[in-house]
Amino acid sequence: MTGTWSLVRLALRLDRVRLPVWLLVLVGLPLATASSFAELYPGVPERMKLAAEMSNNPTLLGLYGRIYDATTLGGLVSWRMGGFLPVLIGLMSLLLVIRHTRAEEQAGRLELVGSGVVGRRAPLTAALVLALLVNLVLALLIALGMIGQGEDATGAFALGLSFAGAGLVFASVAAVTAQVTENSRTASGLAVVVLGAAYLLRAFGDGASAGENGPSWLSWLSPLGWVQLVRPYGNERWWVLGLMASVCLLLVALAYALVARRDYASGLVPPRLGPAASAMGSPVALAWRLQRGSLLAWSAGLAALGLALGTAAEGVGDLVRDNQGMADVFERIGGAQGQIDQFLAGALGIVGLIAAAYTVQAALRLRVEETTARAEPVLATPVTRLRWAASHLLFAFLGTVVVLGALGLAAGLAHGLRTGDLGGELPRVLAGALVVVPAAWVVAGLCVALFGLAPRLAAVAWGAVVLFLILTYFGAVLQLNQWVMDLSPYTHLPKLPGTPFTATPLLWLVALAAALTVAGLAGFRRRGIG
């Protein structure tokens, strides 16, 4: 364990920008939701009515979870955030651990660190200590924020600790997957698969709770289900936090045991050998080999989410029919026609913005290849800089169309089959997903511009995605001026399905994306490599 605290300080310095951004978003979401619910459901009768409607709707129970206390604002926040926020917290935590263990080892930096007075288990310990500190700070900030809203302190700390517990469970999962494979992307992928499986178990279990004989016990198999089973603001079950802690200890013990069984820079599972004869005869083929895993994973994930959204759409009408406040919210988010169209437009817009993470990941692959010195051997051949860059940007731009198309096709298929009008609903819902593409292309153009003109600031593109999310969906709650919210390209998109299609803003967004891309490529042609 020698050198652990030095590595913790190093990790904090490396993440001095990334972690505050994560905390700002993860703390701001429940507090903004509390403010919104205080306006929509000001009294106990309105809250109890919502709980009664939710209890009879298995689809929405699967999406959002169960309500254990509808008499308090904190109970509603616990319900609404309990099904969504722990996923983001778990994602943050597992990426944090992978980044400071397997990714550092893969890049060879841990070998340099290990040449000093640093123990074999120190990097893993430092990553877990950092995850613990970040999640505890998150829990404290959420608790203090809810107390500031006038809610009970006991429930506030139960809510914050339940979120932190979920994050620590998936940090422990990542500690294990980091020992299994020698590639950080594969390790992250395995941990995300566990996260997705946990979400599905919770969704099926909570959805089944609407019936008398459904398998509601499935929620107990999911760490994400344990968040709501703590029951913040509703006769708290503190012992469920002990269950989370026990699982964390078991997984951490397993991770330490695996560290001792593998060699440095290798995983327990050896990498699969490639073909004897290379099929990578062009930059596009090489880019496909590097990008295909991410593209397929994002497409499959958004398709699964699209199926859930399409299935849930019919249940929205039952939820908002008798609640004018909720109907007004969906109208502001999703357009001016039917409640179901408004739900689909709003949900597809949110998921479409999240899909910008794929766009950034694919576009910034250029910077990864450059900083790891893998671009130089390619550019030493007759391959030009622009041809090499275009091979990766092909997946950033067209790959975004693919993942959003998978989302729209799955949502339209599920919604069309449920309504019995597949031919009519599928094209409408697919258009609602694909209309997000020009805004995502602006994000890709921003990545290219940063890569070509200011490569050291390329990671700022991740912050831009978070900023666009806040401006688009929380700008009104934060009472920002309209011109500030208009800085996000996503605020200019037509809200499909449900409103008339307008091509003008989409053409302007495409032109902006093209200008940013051209500027970035021009800068890349003139600057040095590395």
User: Using one digit for the tens of pLDDT, what is the confidence trace for 14-73?
Assistant: 888 788 888 888 888 888 778 777 877 788 887 787 777 776 666 667 667 788 887 888
DSSP H helices, 56-152, are: 58-64, 73-82, 85-99, 102-107, 109-114, 122-148
Q: How many alpha carbons fall within 13 Å on the CB side of residue 56?
A: 8
Token readout for 516 is: 């940013």
Cα–Cα distance measured from residue 170 to residue 239, given in angstroms and rounded to the nearest whole number: 19
Cβ-Cβ contacts under 8 Å for 347 (sequence gap 6 or more) = 309, 334
Give the whole-number percent of the chain exceeding pLDDT 90.
27
pLDDT digits (tens, 9 = 90+) for 419-451: 888 888 899 999 999 999 999 999 999 999 999
* Crossing angle (nearest 10°) for helices 85-99 and 122-148: 150
Confidence of residue 9 (pLDDT cuts 50, 70, 90): confident
pLDDT, position 161: 94
Tell me the pTM: 0.76
CA 229 to chain centre: 23
Q: Is 472 in a helix, a strand, or coil?
A: helix
Confidence of residue 334 (pLDDT cuts 50, 70, 90): very low
204 in Cβ contact with 63 (< 8 Å): no
Cα–Cα distance measured from residue 352 to residue 350, given in angstroms and rounded to the nearest whole number: 5
* Crossing angle (nearest 10°) for helices 85-99 and 73-82: 50
Cα–Cα distance measured from residue 453 to residue 343, given in angstroms and rounded to the nearest whole number: 40
Cβ-Cβ contacts under 8 Å for 46 (sequence gap 6 or more) = 40, 323, 325
